Structure 1
Amino acid sequence: MSSRLGCQDIALLATDDMASGLGHHRDTVENTMSCNVGKTDKTVRIVVGIALILLALTGVVGAWGWIGIVPLATGFFSFCPAYRLLGLNTCQRKR
Protein backbone atom coordinates (compact mmCIF):
# COMPACT_ATOMS: atom_id res chain seq x y z
CA MET A 1 0.00 0.00 0.00
CA SER A 2 1.36 3.39 -0.98
CA SER A 3 1.92 6.04 1.68
CA ARG A 4 1.04 8.86 -0.73
CA LEU A 5 -2.39 10.33 -0.33
CA GLY A 6 -4.40 11.46 -3.30
CA CYS A 7 -6.84 14.32 -3.57
CA GLN A 8 -9.86 12.21 -2.62
CA ASP A 9 -7.99 10.50 0.25
CA ILE A 10 -7.13 13.84 1.88
CA ALA A 11 -10.70 15.09 1.49
CA LEU A 12 -12.05 11.89 3.07
CA LEU A 13 -9.60 12.10 5.98
CA ALA A 14 -10.54 15.71 6.60
CA THR A 15 -14.24 14.98 6.42
CA ASP A 16 -13.93 11.98 8.75
CA ASP A 17 -12.14 14.11 11.35
CA MET A 18 -14.57 16.98 10.95
CA ALA A 19 -17.64 14.74 11.07
CA SER A 20 -16.51 12.94 14.21
CA GLY A 21 -15.42 16.14 15.95
CA LEU A 22 -18.46 18.22 15.11
CA GLY A 23 -21.08 15.49 15.35
CA HIS A 24 -22.44 16.20 11.85
CA HIS A 25 -23.46 13.63 9.30
CA ARG A 26 -20.64 12.65 7.01
CA ASP A 27 -22.62 13.59 3.89
CA THR A 28 -23.08 17.16 5.12
CA VAL A 29 -19.37 17.62 5.82
CA GLU A 30 -18.21 15.88 2.66
CA ASN A 31 -20.36 18.20 0.55
CA THR A 32 -18.91 21.19 2.39
CA MET A 33 -15.21 20.55 1.73
CA SER A 34 -14.32 18.11 -1.02
CA CYS A 35 -11.29 18.09 -3.27
CA ASN A 36 -11.60 20.61 -6.10
CA VAL A 37 -7.92 21.39 -6.77
CA GLY A 38 -6.10 18.93 -9.05
CA LYS A 39 -2.46 17.85 -9.09
CA THR A 40 -1.11 20.46 -11.54
CA ASP A 41 -3.22 23.22 -10.01
CA LYS A 42 -2.01 22.21 -6.54
CA THR A 43 1.66 22.31 -7.61
CA VAL A 44 1.29 25.74 -9.21
CA ARG A 45 -0.49 27.12 -6.13
CA ILE A 46 2.20 25.85 -3.76
CA VAL A 47 5.07 27.18 -5.91
CA VAL A 48 3.42 30.60 -6.39
CA GLY A 49 2.53 30.80 -2.69
CA ILE A 50 6.07 30.01 -1.57
CA ALA A 51 7.53 32.43 -4.13
CA LEU A 52 5.31 35.31 -2.97
CA ILE A 53 6.07 34.65 0.69
CA LEU A 54 9.82 34.51 -0.01
CA LEU A 55 9.64 37.75 -1.99
CA ALA A 56 7.83 39.38 0.94
CA LEU A 57 10.36 38.04 3.45
CA THR A 58 13.32 39.34 1.42
CA GLY A 59 11.73 42.76 0.89
CA VAL A 60 11.57 42.48 -2.89
CA VAL A 61 7.83 43.11 -2.78
CA GLY A 62 5.81 44.85 -0.13
CA ALA A 63 3.53 43.36 2.47
CA TRP A 64 1.09 42.32 -0.26
CA GLY A 65 3.42 39.36 -0.91
CA TRP A 66 1.96 37.71 2.19
CA ILE A 67 -1.14 37.02 0.10
CA GLY A 68 0.91 33.98 -0.95
CA ILE A 69 -0.51 32.28 2.13
CA VAL A 70 -3.82 31.88 0.26
CA PRO A 71 -2.57 29.83 -2.73
CA LEU A 72 -0.24 27.93 -0.40
CA ALA A 73 -3.10 26.92 1.90
CA THR A 74 -5.48 26.05 -0.94
CA GLY A 75 -2.73 23.96 -2.51
CA PHE A 76 -2.01 22.06 0.70
CA PHE A 77 -5.69 21.42 1.47
CA SER A 78 -6.62 20.65 -2.18
CA PHE A 79 -9.67 22.83 -1.68
CA CYS A 80 -10.41 26.29 -3.02
CA PRO A 81 -13.53 28.10 -1.74
CA ALA A 82 -13.58 30.32 -4.85
CA TYR A 83 -13.64 27.23 -7.10
CA ARG A 84 -16.61 25.95 -5.11
CA LEU A 85 -18.50 29.22 -5.58
CA LEU A 86 -17.74 29.22 -9.31
CA GLY A 87 -18.50 25.52 -9.75
CA LEU A 88 -14.96 24.70 -10.91
CA ASN A 89 -13.11 21.46 -10.22
CA THR A 90 -9.64 20.50 -11.47
CA CYS A 91 -9.39 17.41 -9.26
CA GLN A 92 -9.31 14.15 -11.18
CA ARG A 93 -12.04 11.76 -10.08
CA LYS A 94 -11.42 8.14 -9.10
CA ARG A 95 -13.01 5.57 -11.35
Structure 2
Amino acid sequence: MLMANPATLRNLVKRYETLRRAHARLGTSESNRHLEDISYTLCVTTGTRTVADALTAAEAQLRAVPSAASVLSAAGPSEVQLTA
Protein backbone atom coordinates (compact mmCIF):
# COMPACT_ATOMS: atom_id res chain seq x y z
CA MET A 1 0.00 0.00 0.00
CA LEU A 2 1.30 3.46 -0.86
CA MET A 3 1.62 5.91 1.98
CA ALA A 4 1.60 9.66 1.69
CA ASN A 5 4.48 11.76 2.89
CA PRO A 6 3.70 12.42 6.58
CA ALA A 7 4.21 16.18 6.25
CA THR A 8 1.83 16.28 3.28
CA LEU A 9 -0.73 14.21 5.12
CA ARG A 10 -0.54 16.40 8.24
CA ASN A 11 -0.99 19.47 6.05
CA LEU A 12 -4.04 17.99 4.31
CA VAL A 13 -5.71 17.08 7.62
CA LYS A 14 -4.97 20.54 9.02
CA ARG A 15 -6.34 22.23 5.89
CA TYR A 16 -9.46 20.03 5.99
CA GLU A 17 -10.15 20.98 9.61
CA THR A 18 -9.58 24.68 8.88
CA LEU A 19 -11.85 24.64 5.82
CA ARG A 20 -14.52 22.62 7.64
CA ARG A 21 -14.66 25.26 10.39
CA ALA A 22 -14.66 28.08 7.82
CA HIS A 23 -17.54 26.49 5.92
CA ALA A 24 -19.50 25.96 9.14
CA ARG A 25 -19.02 29.63 9.93
CA LEU A 26 -19.52 31.09 6.43
CA GLY A 27 -21.72 28.56 4.66
CA THR A 28 -20.96 30.02 1.21
CA SER A 29 -20.77 28.17 -2.08
CA GLU A 30 -17.09 29.13 -2.25
CA SER A 31 -16.33 27.70 1.19
CA ASN A 32 -18.24 24.55 0.20
CA ARG A 33 -16.20 24.20 -3.01
CA HIS A 34 -12.93 24.53 -1.07
CA LEU A 35 -14.12 21.96 1.46
CA GLU A 36 -15.13 19.56 -1.32
CA ASP A 37 -11.75 20.01 -3.03
CA ILE A 38 -9.71 19.27 0.08
CA SER A 39 -12.03 16.36 0.98
CA TYR A 40 -11.44 14.82 -2.45
CA THR A 41 -7.68 15.30 -2.17
CA LEU A 42 -7.62 13.78 1.31
CA CYS A 43 -9.58 10.75 0.09
CA VAL A 44 -7.34 10.24 -2.94
CA THR A 45 -4.20 10.62 -0.84
CA THR A 46 -5.35 8.02 1.68
CA GLY A 47 -6.98 5.68 -0.87
CA THR A 48 -10.43 5.97 0.71
CA ARG A 49 -13.90 6.97 -0.48
CA THR A 50 -15.29 8.97 2.44
CA VAL A 51 -13.88 11.79 4.53
CA ALA A 52 -14.47 9.83 7.73
CA ASP A 53 -12.46 6.91 6.34
CA ALA A 54 -9.78 9.30 5.06
CA LEU A 55 -9.37 10.90 8.48
CA THR A 56 -9.18 7.48 10.14
CA ALA A 57 -6.60 6.30 7.61
CA ALA A 58 -4.58 9.51 8.00
CA GLU A 59 -4.57 9.13 11.78
CA ALA A 60 -3.40 5.53 11.51
CA GLN A 61 -0.66 6.39 9.01
CA LEU A 62 0.57 9.32 11.07
CA ARG A 63 0.56 7.26 14.26
CA ALA A 64 2.77 4.67 12.52
CA VAL A 65 5.40 7.29 11.61
CA PRO A 66 7.68 8.53 14.38
CA SER A 67 7.79 12.28 14.82
CA ALA A 68 10.92 14.18 13.83
CA ALA A 69 11.68 14.94 17.49
CA SER A 70 11.61 11.27 18.50
CA VAL A 71 13.79 10.30 15.52
CA LEU A 72 16.36 12.94 16.44
CA SER A 73 16.46 11.94 20.10
CA ALA A 74 16.71 8.25 19.20
CA ALA A 75 19.63 9.00 16.87
CA GLY A 76 21.64 10.38 19.76
CA PRO A 77 23.79 13.46 19.81
CA SER A 78 24.57 15.14 16.54
CA GLU A 79 28.03 14.73 15.05
CA VAL A 80 28.06 18.44 14.35
CA GLN A 81 29.24 20.53 17.28
CA LEU A 82 28.51 24.21 17.50
CA THR A 83 31.21 26.45 18.84
CA ALA A 84 31.15 30.12 19.80
* Common fold by TM > 0.5: no
Higher helix share: 2
Structure whose alpha-carbon radius of gyration is higher:
2
TM-score, normalising length: structure 1: 0.36
